[in-house]
A and B are shown apart, each in its own frame.
Chain A
Amino acid sequence: MGQNEVNKDFDVIIIGGGATGAGTARDCAKRGLRVLLLERFDIATGATGRNHGLLHSGARYAVTDGESAEECIKENMILRRIASHCVEETDGLFLTLPEDDIQYQGKFVEACQRAGIRAEVIDPKEALRMEPSANPALIGAVRVPDGAVDPFRLTASNIMDAKSHGAEVLTYHEVVEVLRSGSQVTGVKVFDHKTKATKSYYADVVVNAGGIWGHRLAEMAGVRVNMLPSKGALLIFGHRVNRMVLNRCRKPADADILVPGDTICLIGTTSSKVPFEEVDDMLVTSKEVDLLLREGEKLAPSLAQTRILRAYAGVRPLVASDDDPSGRSVSRGIVVLDHAVRDGLEGFVTITGGKLMTYRLMAEWTTDLVCKKLGVNATCTTAIEPLPGSRENAEEVNKKIISLPLPQRQSSIARHGDLAERLSHNTPVENSLVCECEEVSVGEVKYALNELDVNNLVDLRRRTRVGMGTCQGELCACRAAGVMSREGKYCTRRAKEDLASFLNERWKGMRPIAWGDTLRESEYMSWVYESVCGLNMSQKQSE
């Protein structure tokens, strides 16, 4: 395919469609900059979409890293305001089990108070009443303002707001070269995965928000950022076992957080170093599943008798401190690198480290730096102004779409906040369900296709939860592919390819835990698709 020079100029190009990149695009656009966001696949495909979805209170870091704890609690309170539709205010308990040192509790509460985190010691019996799933053997409990946050919604909402402030967002655009003129970065060359074309875009500043892939982007620019890929595996259970986030009251360790997220709950995570070659294809091992289950049961014993839906892993972009050439000293805090100061390379900024919780603060700091470089004087408003979806009270939205059946109404408000009123819901067909487990209607799928940058079924899943329920695509995948075809998103051959790739992606997550009912259901699913419908499960489909 040919090479196009695009002469459109931007003030800033942001590389990476995770929460940080999306947040930075929003902040920059709101401060009046001309913004281009580039993402090689879909939004929230990296670490953003592969974590607990925990709205940290900061309590977990209080003892070991006071600074992170303070950042967390501040951002926690901000997200409750600006992203209320992505957040569930469940509160959390830090449990002390008989094998843990109860002395740690005092230290923990004190550290929380120092960081400004409300931490309230709860009588074990009262804790069990509040959270019946908690291990009844617990000897201590502390209540903290933890919660759940949906990273997909959060990222999508930031993107939406960035676009409404003029930002251009291109997904499936992979940066293949960072363009330089001497010691000045001038733009990037990208490969468009959809059209297979290569294009160039220019801007005064390029921001590297590529997460673990930022390591490679820095290399393209000719600078070195020492990253240490750290794999974290998690298990998703079929339904909510707990109402509150459960943590162990001890030094942070493996598999000691259980988060209720939407219809499911998740236990995680593990932590292991992985080589860079593996970061694009993380597989969860049976050892990891074993560890997660063993530790998870200690928090909530009923997990042992709960169906597991899938296992997945993400890669944390840990950064080695600049002053430690051995790379062993790792910073878990936010790292903003001005490569002009650090490496003498103008027009290039790397934002990394941090966490999902602090994405907005990371974006703010990055935007501050970009503005300084561009000589723009504008203040950050992202901590005050609510994101699209969080601007109106859920009760008001509920009244506007009262004609929908109740579970559908509740689900779409939970997923889209006040934007739920934009779902098309006029005809019986639009009100019929695509995904029965998660109550996603045809109208909601159409809305996602038309307004939320959906290119395939996996993208659709991130916007709507299609295929995230117990059936893992068994009933919804073909219906969704049908709606996408009818809406002119793709032809029959592409629809079949997409269907096969979606089902394979689902199987990848089921495989490490494929036993019992999950295995039975996946066997049924492959029987439906392969034997009854005759779908070829390999990617290539005949015309």
Chain B
Amino acid sequence: MNLQQHNISDNNFEQCIKCTVCTVYCPVAAVNPDFPGPKQAGPDGERLRLKRPDFYDEALKYCINCKRCEVACPSNVRIGDIIQSARIRYAKKKPKVRDILLANTDFVGTLSTPFAPVVNVALGLKPVKAAMDAVLKIDHRRMFPKYAFGTFEGWYKKQASRQAAFSKQVAYFHGCYVNYNNPQLGKDLVKVMNAAGYGVQLLEKEQCCGVALISNGLINQAKKQAQTNMASIRQAVLERKMPVIATSSTCTFTIRDEYPHLLQLENGDVREQVELATRFLYRLLAENKTKLRFRTDKKLKVAYHTPCHMEKLGWSYYTIELLKMIPGVEVQVLDSQCCGIAGTYGFKKENYEVSQQIGSRLFRQIEASGVDFVVSDCETCKWQIEMSTSKKCEHPISVLARMLED
């Protein structure tokens, strides 16, 4: 028996050689001493939990699942996945009412959009904020993203026939944010894709990707929604032969990587066909398969912020290069670091201070940049940047739409 080829560890956590670079890159460990850091919470802790499940440490809840540890790891250890899987498997604390409300972006969005003018005003009122702070422990310093009066899906219905006329088609996973809060981004996407020669279709049935459900411990619900989404994605890719594009980096990342790694939903047959709109467009343009005509009368100075899940996908390159293709746009790339919001994490009262500390260097860099606004692929980064700096934050697709020649 050739021992050295025979005995090879199957256990991802055993590939860790304790170099600790993950902990160096962890945005939480740097500011919150209660978090043991990815090395200890991940591969080290896993060994202890395999000894006895009661070694599970509730401090793992401080992990924001940014996956920067995984990007830093030279040994390919899926540290973030190990931590999130441990939370799923061992956490005893049940999600609170607040967590359920925050996690159910889909459900709450459906309830709110018909009453958007009222809800938006109400959520902004001081007494309401104080009540949410006291009762739900949602920090009063947070601003909820405004709900739109009418959903993106509602708007799209009127466009469907016009979109069907295009010879080439893509399916669009719009996500909760576009549907309930920012239908304009969806409209921008349709405009840009049309300009590139593609019609835009919706999926047969789209539900929230489930990222907030996963991070708030509502795994069964996340699995159900993921199964619905995967069925629709398969139908689009395999039957209707359309690639699926998205505007949210987190939705994209969740569908591609979290489904198989955390929810054990295999997606290998369609995974490569699910990608970000910016990457899809960049590749079309780089391969000269399409052309976009931009206006030259307008100058913009923007700074690109790399969301954590973009860093993990390794795709910020595509967005940055795409922005650079617009003649009137000057792009400054900010240091890649976490903004601190981490989805619903930063909205929780107990996490507010940590969240702002994590983002503080980024905020300073943004303030010092002198740009017109910040660009980012992630909606929650956008909220955090707009709540914490004087700058607005736009999606790259909206920048493209704005700069297209009419």
Contact residues of A with B, CB < 8 Å?
238-240, 260, 262-263, 286, 289-290, 293-294, 302, 304-308, 405-407, 410-411, 436-437, 439, 469-471, 474-475, 513, 515-517, 520-521, 524
Pair B58/A437 contact, Cβ less than 8 Å: no
Choose among A262, A294, A470, A516 the residue that contacts B8 (Cβ–Cβ < 8 A). Answer: A516
Choose among B44, B59, B75 the residue that contacts A437 (Cβ–Cβ < 8 A). Answer: B44
In the complex, besides A263-B51, A293-B3, A524-B19, 16 extra interface pairs with C-beta distance below 8 angstroms are A238-B47, A260-B51, A263-B47, A286-B3, A302-B10, A305-B8, A306-B10, A307-B11, A406-B57, A407-B55, A407-B57, A410-B54, A470-B43, A475-B20, A513-B3, A524-B17
Smallest Cβ distance from A305 to chain B, in angstroms?
4
Smallest Cβ distance from A298 to chain B, in angstroms?
13
Q: Tell me, in angstroms, the Cα distance from A215 to B58 when the chains sit together.
A: 54
> Closest residue of chain A to B14, judged by CB?
A307
Contact residues of B between 1 and 53, Cβ < 8 Å to A: 1, 3-4, 6-11, 14-20, 36, 39-40, 43-48, 50-52
7 closest pairs, A vs B, by CB?
A305-B10, A515-B4, A521-B17, A307-B14, A307-B9, A471-B18, A239-B47
Residues of B within 8 A of A308 (CB): 7
Residues of A within 8 A of B20 (CB): 475
Residues of A within 8 A of B54 (CB): 410
Q: Tell me, in angstroms, the Cα distance from A503 to B242 when the chains sit together.
A: 58
With A405-B36, A437-B18 known as contacts, the answer to whether A306 contacts B11 (CB < 8 A) is yes
Pair B4/A517 contact, Cβ less than 8 Å: no
Residues of A within 8 A of B59 (CB): 405-406
Choose among B9, B15, B47 the residue that contacts A469 (Cβ–Cβ < 8 A). Answer: B47
For B1, B4, B18, B57, the residue with the greatest tally of chain A CB atoms inside 10 Å of its CB is B18
Choose among A290, A410, A520 the residue that contacts B17 (Cβ–Cβ < 8 A). Answer: A520
Pair B48/A305 contact, Cβ less than 8 Å: no
Residues of B within 8 A of A263 (CB): 47-48, 50-51
For B3, B15, B57, the residue with the greatest tally of chain A CB atoms inside 10 Å of its CB is B3
Choose among A474, A475, A517, A524 the residue that contacts B9 (Cβ–Cβ < 8 A). Answer: A517
Residues of A within 8 A of B43 (CB): 470
Smallest Cβ distance from B364 to chain A, in angstroms?
28
Q: Mark B187-220, 1 if CB is under 8 A from A, else 0.
A: 0000000000000000000000000000000000
Pair A293/B58 contact, Cβ less than 8 Å: no
Contact residues of B with A, CB < 8 Å?
1, 3-4, 6-11, 14-20, 36, 39-40, 43-48, 50-52, 54-55, 57-59, 75
Residues of B within 8 A of A304 (CB): 6-7
Pair A305/B11 contact, Cβ less than 8 Å: yes
Choose among A239, A411, A515 the residue that contacts B7 (Cβ–Cβ < 8 A). Answer: A515
Pair A411/B48 contact, Cβ less than 8 Å: yes
Residues of A within 8 A of B14 (CB): 238-239, 306-307, 470, 517
> Closest residue of chain B to A304, judged by CB?
B7
> Closest residue of chain A to B39, judged by CB?
A436
Q: What are 29 pairs between A and B in contact, CB < 8 Å? A: A238-B9, A238-B14, A239-B11, A260-B51, A263-B50, A263-B51, A290-B3, A293-B1, A302-B10, A304-B7, A306-B7, A306-B10, A307-B9, A405-B59, A406-B55, A406-B59, A410-B54, A411-B48, A436-B18, A436-B40, A437-B47, A470-B14, A470-B18, A470-B43, A474-B18, A513-B7, A516-B8, A517-B9, A517-B15
Smallest Cβ distance from A38 to chain B, in angstroms?
36
Smallest Cβ distance from A329 to chain B, in angstroms?
35
Residues of B within 8 A of A437 (CB): 18, 44, 47
Residues of A within 8 A of B16 (CB): 470
Q: Tell me, in angstroms, the Cα distance from A302 to B8 when the chains sit together.
A: 10
Smallest Cβ distance from A324 to chain B, in angstroms?
38
Q: Tell me, in angstroms, the Cα distance from A475 to B37 when the chains sit together.
A: 15
Choose among A240, A294, A405, A471 the residue that contacts B51 (Cβ–Cβ < 8 A). Answer: A240
Pair A294/B1 contact, Cβ less than 8 Å: yes
Residues of A within 8 A of B55 (CB): 406-407, 410
Smallest Cβ distance from B218 to chain A, in angstroms?
24
Q: Tell me, in angstroms, the Cα distance from A308 to B6 when the chains sit together.
A: 12
Residues of B within 8 A of A517 (CB): 9, 14-15, 17, 75
Residues of A within 8 A of B4 (CB): 515-516
Q: Tell me, in angstroms, the Cα distance from A471 to B47 when the chains sit together.
A: 12
Q: Tell me, in angstroms, the Cα distance from A255 to B43 when the chains sit together.
A: 29
Smallest Cβ distance from A301 to chain B, in angstroms?
11
Q: Tell me, in angstroms, the Cα distance from A73 to B75 when the chains sit together.
A: 46
Pair B1/A290 contact, Cβ less than 8 Å: yes
Residues of A within 8 A of B58 (CB): 406
Q: Tell me, in angstroms, the Cα distance from A238 to B17 when the chains sit together.
A: 12
> Closest residue of chain B to A512, judged by CB?
B3
Pair B48/A516 contact, Cβ less than 8 Å: no
Pair A475/B10 contact, Cβ less than 8 Å: no
Residues of A within 8 A of B3 (CB): 286, 289-290, 293, 513, 515
> Closest residue of chain A to B5, judged by CB?
A515
Choose among B8, B18, B48 the residue that contacts A407 (Cβ–Cβ < 8 A). Answer: B48
Pair B6/A405 contact, Cβ less than 8 Å: no
Residues of B within 8 A of A475 (CB): 18, 20
Residues of A within 8 A of B45 (CB): 407
Pair B47/A470 contact, Cβ less than 8 Å: yes
Q: Tell me, in angstroms, the Cα distance from A240 to B55 when the chains sit together.
A: 14
Q: Tell me, in angstroms, the Cα distance from A228 to B96 when the chains sit together.
A: 66
Residues of B within 8 A of A474 (CB): 17-18
Q: Tell me, in angstroms, the Cα distance from A471 to B50 when the chains sit together.
A: 17
Residues of A within 8 A of B15 (CB): 517
Smallest Cβ distance from B339 to chain A, in angstroms?
28
Q: Tell me, in angstroms, the Cα distance from A209 to B19 when the chains sit together.
A: 44
Q: Tell me, in angstroms, the Cα distance from A239 to B11 when the chains sit together.
A: 10
Residues of A within 8 A of B11 (CB): 238-239, 305-307
Pair A293/B18 contact, Cβ less than 8 Å: no
> Closest residue of chain A to B58, judged by CB?
A406
Smallest Cβ distance from B5 to chain A, in angstroms?
9
Pair A516/B9 contact, Cβ less than 8 Å: yes
> Closest residue of chain B to A235, judged by CB?
B7
Q: Tell me, in angstroms, the Cα distance from A410 to B53 when the chains sit together.
A: 11
> Closest residue of chain A to B23, judged by CB?
A436
Pair A405/B57 contact, Cβ less than 8 Å: yes
Q: Tell me, in angstroms, the Cα distance from A389 to B248 when the chains sit together.
A: 56
Smallest Cβ distance from B204 to chain A, in angstroms?
39
Smallest Cβ distance from A21 to chain B, in angstroms?
30
Q: Tell me, in angstroms, the Cα distance from A238 to B55 when the chains sit together.
A: 17
Q: Tell me, in angstroms, the Cα distance from A515 to B7 when the chains sit together.
A: 9
Q: Tell me, in angstroms, the Cα distance from A436 to B75 when the chains sit together.
A: 18
Smallest Cβ distance from B40 to chain A, in angstroms?
6
Residues of A within 8 A of B52 (CB): 410
Q: Tell me, in angstroms, the Cα distance from A436 to B36 when the chains sit together.
A: 10
Q: Tell me, in angstroms, the Cα distance from A341 to B48 when the chains sit together.
A: 52
Residues of A within 8 A of B39 (CB): 436
Smallest Cβ distance from A22 to chain B, in angstroms?
26
Q: Tell me, in angstroms, the Cα distance from A293 to B59 when the chains sit together.
A: 37
Residues of A within 8 A of B19 (CB): 524
Smallest Cβ distance from B51 to chain A, in angstroms?
5
Smallest Cβ distance from A261 to chain B, in angstroms?
10
Smallest Cβ distance from A148 to chain B, in angstroms?
11
For B14, B16, B52, the residue with the greatest tally of chain A CB atoms inside 10 Å of its CB is B14
